[in-house]
Structures are given as C-alpha cells and as structure tokens.
Amino acid sequence: MKIFWAFARQAFHNSAVYRFEFWLRLFSIYLLMYCIYWVWKTLYTQTPGAFGVSLEQMVTYGILGMALEIFLDVGPEWYIATQVRTGAIDTDLMKPLDFHVHMLARSTGEMMFSLGILAFPSFAIGHYLFGLSLPGDVLHGLTFAVSLILSFFVFFHIGFLLGTLTVITLDIRSIAWAYYSLVAFFSGQIVPLWLFPEVLRKISSFLPFQAVYYIPISIYIKTLSGSAALKALGLQAFWAVALVFFARWAWDRVHTRLTVQGG
C-alpha cells in the first residue's frame, strides 16, 4: 500500500508541472459547460416538460457530464500505448509493483490532482454561471461520492483493457476516436439514457459504460434515489469487480505474449 501511494504521489507531481495548462483546461471546461447549457436551455424553452425533469436538473446533468470527464478520464491507455510503442514498457515491468496496480496508482494520482485543483473552480463556474445545483444533504453527497469512486474504477479498467489491446495491435490511435465516441454515447455523458429510443436504451443497459456517467449523475440530480440508487450502486460495483478480473486476466495473457516477443 505504501508503494501504491508513492506512485500515486509521483503522478500527482508530474501533472503539477504545467501551470499554464491549468488556465487552458479551466477555460475549456467553461466552454463545454456553456455549450451544453445552451443546448438544454433551448430545448427546454421550446418544449417545457418534455424531459420529465426540471430545467435545473437537466442543466445540472449536462454540466456534470462535461465536468466529470476531467477527473474520470485519466487515459491509462495512452500511457500504455506510448510505453509499448517506445519499448519503455520493460522498465515498467521491472518495477517492484504489479503492473495493473502500478497503472491504477498512476491514474489515481492523476485523478486526485485534477480533482484537487480543478474540482472547486469548475463547481464554482458551474454553480454561479450556469445554475448547477448543489447536493441536498450529507447523505446525498456521500452516495454521489461513492458512486463516483466506482465510476472512476470502471472507467479506469475500460481504459486499461484498451491499453492491453495495444500490446497486440501496437497502436490505438486509429481506433481511439471510434472508442471515445462510443463511450460518450453509451455512457449517457451528453444525452441521458432515458431520452434514448427503446432499442438503444436496451443495448446500453447491458454495457458497463452507463456506470461511468449515467449512474453517478442520475444519483446527483435525484432521478435515481432511495432503493433505485442502491441498486444502481450495486450494478456499478458489479461492473467494477467484473472488470478488475477481466483486466487482470487479459493482461496476464497478453503479458506472456509480450515476453515471448521481446525474447
């Protein structure tokens, strides 16, 4: 556990180097929020009541969908892809830590860095400029926090699996765009799943992506509450555990292949 935090701290420091980037990222967050705010506001003014929720909830959903990406999307796949392409992956494998745990530590560090410096200003922008609602009470906030941790876990492992794929394909750049747009689509990041046509909603309910954005945000805006929220948390936990096993299994298989190639 001590080593885990050592690696997490290292990743935190690496991200802290770029100060100028902070302002660019903040501005970019502002733009994304601005965009989604106007989309929902326009649609709501046009047909009030068609969402099944209030404008405030809808705007909150849209803004969170944009804001959470900064913390959740730490992209372990890009790190793995670069290491595989340059061959530096062997130094990673020599480290005194299991590769999967090492990657998790790295990503956790990066996530906490983004959370530490960007969470407060982003929420301030969201709340004061676009009317992002705040959590109702402590219990509600805690449920959301738990859901968010599970969501990070699920998202990390999906990225890790994609990274594992690069050991075979050697490059993910050509599939990355399709992958990211499919994740954004089926996770309900931009358009909540309840607005989907029946068929697409069915498909998305069988995929792990809903655990990334749809569930935590729905808990936040209280369209999932009480027992439904608990059930959703259970589903997230299921996907988190299933993906840990799947990711470890996949990495073990590919890992031996990597050693054979290197020999």
Shortest approach of other proteins to residue 7 CB, angstroms? 26
Other beta carbons within 10 angstroms of residue 70's beta carbon come to 19
- Of residues 5 and 180, the one with the C-beta less far from other proteins: 180
Site for other proteins (CB under 8 A): which residue of 2, 47, 86, 227?
A: 47
Quick check: 184 binds other proteins (CB under 8 A)?
yes
DSSP per residue, 11-60: HHHHHHT-HHHHHHHHHHHHHHHHHHHHHHHHHHHHSTTTTSS-HHHHHH
Quick check: 42 binds other proteins (CB under 8 A)?
yes
Site for other proteins (CB under 8 A): which residue of 13, 14, 16, 21?
A: 21
- Of residues 47 and 227, the one with the C-beta less far from other proteins: 47
Hey, what amino acid is at 97?
Answer: L
Q: Which residues of 191-224 are buried (b: 16+ CB within 10 A; e: fewer)?
A: bbbeebeeeeeeebeeebbbbbbbbbbbbbbbbb
Quick check: 35 binds other proteins (CB under 8 A)?
yes
Quick check: 50 binds other proteins (CB under 8 A)?
yes
CB 80 within 8 A of CB 169: no
- Of residues 6 and 16, the one with the C-beta less far from other proteins: 16
Shortest approach of other proteins to residue 67 CB, angstroms? 15
Q: Hey, what are 149's tokens?
A: 């941790």
Other beta carbons within 10 angstroms of residue 190's beta carbon come to 15
Site for other proteins (CB under 8 A): which residue of 56, 90, 171, 252?
A: 171
Q: Cα separation of 214 and 233, whole Å?
A: 11
Site for other proteins (CB under 8 A): which residue of 145, 182, 228, 242?
A: 182
Shortest approach of other proteins to residue 27 CB, angstroms? 7
Size of the site for other proteins (CB under 8 A): 33
